[in-house]
């Protein structure tokens, strides 16, 4: 094992000579190995975190503690050296004195490189300048860093490098750490809030024989043993509704969806959604759940329901405004689609709305909304009552079957969620699928497929239910003031490229 390691290193060291700093680190590594030391071994195990010691100094003052983390700065003053140790909780200063540790250990400490991962044992004290520190009694090297870290002051700014080498971004950019910690807290809070309300969390397939539950182009793959094509899921919806059929009345799933579509500051090919379904409820109930969830999450992770996004104040405090899609269109464009019933397509085109060739009346309304209205919806608002032909899984309105009991909350001009009273009439659902199949045959490759297996489930009886989907990434963008979805995804997709 050790021989193997040594061998590999010597092979690599030739190419590493490209960079003086890497050469120095390789040389130190090889010297340690020759001295019989393993520079990648677990040694001193931390008993405390930096934050614990700093925040409860009075409790630990004079006590011996063990800490472990990454060496991030060194200030050498002859026989005394200060260093900054960063662990997952924060930063703490180390103090090493020649007189205290002896010549050999002192030289070894100075020989460490910034970025090395070390363990230390020492006594907590406060320096003359008032900084809580640990006077090191012993230390060990637990991972030699062979590459230099980005600069401590400016951090890693290059956006491409921050995405490609997120570990460096997380190491040196505190704001990036903050975003992903907050993302974790958002997901945890959603889970807890739903659990408190009696929802159970489930996991449904990512690999679908028939991609369904959304209008989107799927990624295709292939299962060798079954000898059949499979699709990465574009939404978990149809499986979660099968669980309603099965008698789970409140279910939710948090997980990835995959859509084989464009990439932008608001779109990543794989993204995380929450979908929740509640039996014996309708879209009104789900709107309340939506505004409650999002505002409670904000309160929990940010301590407020009034947030700042890119310099704009957004008030997430419920209740949110509700407006039907037709009302919203009339409010912002003056177009009255109620009065224009039967002439939707020509009216939309006259207003300068771009439409696909085979657009349906509902598409004309939806496109008008998306192209003319969306951008105005900054403060949270539920847009409701979407046309039935663009809502193939939603229940029709009792008072007007051309529209559905559906809602989409908009915040900052973004569609942040989507929900409706779930269509549980298998006869109507079949008609909707047949309409989608016609669209697909007419060239719409985002139209739904016929899903006989799902229809069969509905035929056994699905309770009336409300459903809700929230885009977690966009929600996290809002809550963390992040301008790009890639800022809230740890490893966003990039074209492959050799290391810079």
Partner RNA sequence: GAGCCCGUAGCUCAGUCGGUAGAGCACCGGACUUUUAAUCCGGGUGUCCUGGGUUCGAAUCCCAGCGGGCUCACCA
Site for RNA in 423-452 (CB under 7 A): 446
Q: Which of 425, 430, 217, 409 is nearest to 319 (CA)?
A: 409
265 binds RNA per the rule CB under 7 A: yes
Region of 57-65, 96-104, 189-197, 319-327 interacting with RNA (CB under 7 A): 96-104
Where in 21-50 is the site for RNA (CB under 7 A)? 21, 24
Region of 51-59, 194-202, 225-233, 491-499 interacting with RNA (CB under 7 A): 491-499
**Cis peptide bond N-terminal to 370, omega within 30:** no
Closest separation in Å from C-beta 146 to RNA = 11
Closest separation in Å from C-beta 258 to RNA = 8
Minimum CB distance to RNA smaller for 9 or for 80:
80
Closest separation in Å from C-beta 5 to RNA = 22
What is the distance between the alpha carbons of residues 81 and 106, in angstroms, rounded to a whole number? 9
Q: Which of 7, 61, 127, 400 binds RNA (CB under 7 A)?
A: 127
Three-class SS of the chain: CHHHHHHHHHHHHHHHCCCHHHHHHHHHHHHHHHCCCCCCCCCCCCCCCHHHHHHCHHHHCCCEEEEEEEEEEEEEECCEEEEEEEECCEEEEEEEEHHHHCHHHHHHHHCCCCCCEEEEEEEEEECCCCCEEEEEEEEEEEECCCCCCCCCCCCCCCHHHHHHCHHHHHHHCHHHHHHHHHHHHHHHHHHHHHHHCCCEECCCCCEECCCCCCCCCCCEEEECCCCEEEEECCCCHHHHHHHHHCCCCEEEEEEEEECCCCCECCECCEEEEEEEEEECCCHHHHHHHHHHHHHHHHHHHHCCCEEEECCEEEECCCCCEEEEHHHHHHHHHCCCCCCCCCCHHHHHHHCCCCCCCCCCHHHHHHHHHHHHCHHHCCCCEEEECCEHHHCCCECECCCCCCEECEEEEEECCEECEEEEEECCCHHHHHHHHHHHHHHHHCCCCCCCCCCHHHHHHHHCCCCCEEEEEEEHHHHHHHHHCCCCHHHCCCCCCCCCCCCC
**How far apart, in Å, are the Cα atoms of 394 and each of 67, 208, 328, 423, 490?**
56, 21, 20, 5, 34
269 binds RNA per the rule CB under 7 A: yes
Where in 134-173 is the site for RNA (CB under 7 A)? 147-148, 150-161, 163
Closest separation in Å from C-beta 324 to RNA = 18
Where in 360-389 is the site for RNA (CB under 7 A)? 370-371
Minimum CB distance to RNA smaller for 50 or for 279:
50
Minimum CB distance to RNA smaller for 145 or for 279:
145
Minimum CB distance to RNA smaller for 8 or for 160:
160
Minimum CB distance to RNA smaller for 80 or for 182:
80
Residues in contact with RNA, total (CB under 7 A)? 76
Q: Which of 49, 52, 133, 391 binds RNA (CB under 7 A)?
A: 133
Q: Which of 348, 473, 477, 480 binds RNA (CB under 7 A)?
A: 473
Where in 293-332 is the site for RNA (CB under 7 A)? none
Q: Which of 124, 216, 254, 457 binds RNA (CB under 7 A)?
A: 216
Minimum CB distance to RNA smaller for 119 or for 469:
469
114 binds RNA per the rule CB under 7 A: yes
454 binds RNA per the rule CB under 7 A: no
> Residue 440 forms beta bridges with which residues?
none
Are the C-beta atoms of 284 and 467 separated by less than 8 Å? no
Region of 198-206, 239-247, 292-300, 477-485 interacting with RNA (CB under 7 A): 477-485
* The two structure tokens encoding residue 153: 């002051």
**How far apart, in Å, are the Cα atoms of 121 and each of 101, 118, 139?**
12, 10, 6
Minimum CB distance to RNA smaller for 245 or for 492:
492
End-to-end CA gap in the chain: 30
Minimum CB distance to RNA smaller for 111 or for 138:
111
Q: Which of 7, 264, 358, 400 binds RNA (CB under 7 A)?
A: 264
Closest separation in Å from C-beta 6 to RNA = 21
What is the distance between the alpha carbons of residues 341 and 357, in angstroms, rounded to a whole number? 19
Are the C-beta atoms of 419 and 468 separated by less than 8 Å? yes
Region of 69-77, 177-185, 224-232, 456-464 interacting with RNA (CB under 7 A): 69-77
> What is the pattern of x (binds RNA, CB under 7 A) and - over residues 389-428?
-------------------------xxx-x----------
20 binds RNA per the rule CB under 7 A: yes
Minimum CB distance to RNA smaller for 250 or for 360:
360
Q: Which of 14, 15, 77, 311 binds RNA (CB under 7 A)?
A: 77
Minimum CB distance to RNA smaller for 1 or for 18:
18
Region of 73-81, 247-255, 289-297, 424-432 interacting with RNA (CB under 7 A): 73-81
Closest separation in Å from C-beta 304 to RNA = 25
259 binds RNA per the rule CB under 7 A: yes
Region of 3-11, 41-49, 68-76, 181-189 interacting with RNA (CB under 7 A): 68-76
261 binds RNA per the rule CB under 7 A: yes
């Amino acid at each position: 094992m050790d021989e193997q390691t040594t061998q590999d290193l010597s092979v690599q060291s030739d190419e590493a000579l490209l960079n003086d700093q890497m050469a120095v680190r390789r040389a130190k590594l090889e010297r340690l190995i020759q001295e019989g030391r393993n520079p990648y071994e677990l040694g001193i195990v931390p008993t405390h975190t930096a934050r614990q010691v700093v925040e409860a100094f009075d409790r630990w003052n004079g006590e011996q503690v063990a800490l472990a983390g990454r060496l991030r700065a060194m200030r050498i003053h002859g026989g005394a050296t200060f260093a900054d140790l960063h662990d997952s909780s924060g930063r703490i200063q180390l103090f090493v004195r020649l007189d205290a540790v002896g010549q050999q250990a002192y030289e070894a400490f100075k020989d460490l490189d910034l970025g090395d991962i070390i363990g230390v044992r020492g006594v907590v004290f406060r320096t003359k300048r008032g900084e809580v520190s640990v006077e090191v009694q012993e230390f060990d090297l637990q991972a030699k860093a062979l590459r230099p870290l980005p600069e401590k002051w400016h951090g890693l700014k290059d956006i491409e490098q921050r995405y490609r080498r997120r570990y460096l971004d997380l190491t040196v950019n505190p704001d990036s750490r903050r975003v992903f910690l907050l993302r974790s807290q958002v997901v945890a809070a959603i889970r807890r809030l739903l659990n408190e309300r009696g929802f159970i969390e489930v996991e449904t397939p990512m690999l679908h024989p028939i991609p369904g539950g959304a209008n989107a182009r799927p990624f295709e793959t292939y299962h060798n043993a079954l000898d059949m094509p499979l699709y990465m899921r574009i939404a978990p919806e149809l499986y979660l509704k099968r669980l309603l059929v099965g008698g789970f009345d409140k279910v939710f799933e948090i997980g990835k969806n995959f859509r084989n579509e464009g990439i932008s500051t608001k779109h990543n090919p794989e993204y995380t959604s929450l979908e929740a379904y509640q039996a014996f409820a309708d879209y009104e109930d789900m709107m309340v759940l939506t505004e409650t969830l999002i505002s409670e999450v904000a309160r929990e992770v940010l301590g407020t329901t009034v947030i700042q996004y890119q310099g704009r104040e957004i008030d997430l405090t419920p209740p949110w405004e509700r407006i039907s899609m037709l009302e919203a269109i009339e409010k912002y464009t003056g177009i009255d689609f109620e009065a224009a019933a039967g002439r939707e397509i020509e009216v939309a085109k006259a207003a300068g709305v771009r439409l696909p060739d085979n657009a349906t009346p509902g598409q004309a309304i939806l496109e008008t909304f998306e192209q003319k209205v969306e951008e105005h919806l900054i403060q949270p608002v539920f847009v409701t009552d979407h046309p039935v032909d663009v809502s193939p899984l939603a229940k029709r309105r009792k008072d007007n079957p051309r529209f559905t009991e559906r809602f989409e909350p908009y915040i900052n001009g973004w569609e942040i969620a989507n929900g409706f009273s779930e269509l549980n009439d298998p006869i109507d659902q079949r008609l909707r699928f047949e309409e989608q199949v016609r669209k697909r045959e007419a060239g719409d490759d985002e139209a739904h497929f016929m899903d006989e297996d799902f229809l069969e489930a509905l035929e056994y009886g699905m309770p009336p239910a409300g459903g809700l989907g929230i885009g977690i990434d966009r929600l996290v963008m809002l809550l963390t003031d992040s301008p790009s979805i890639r800022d809230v995804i740890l490893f966003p997709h990039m074209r492959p490229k050799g290391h810079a």
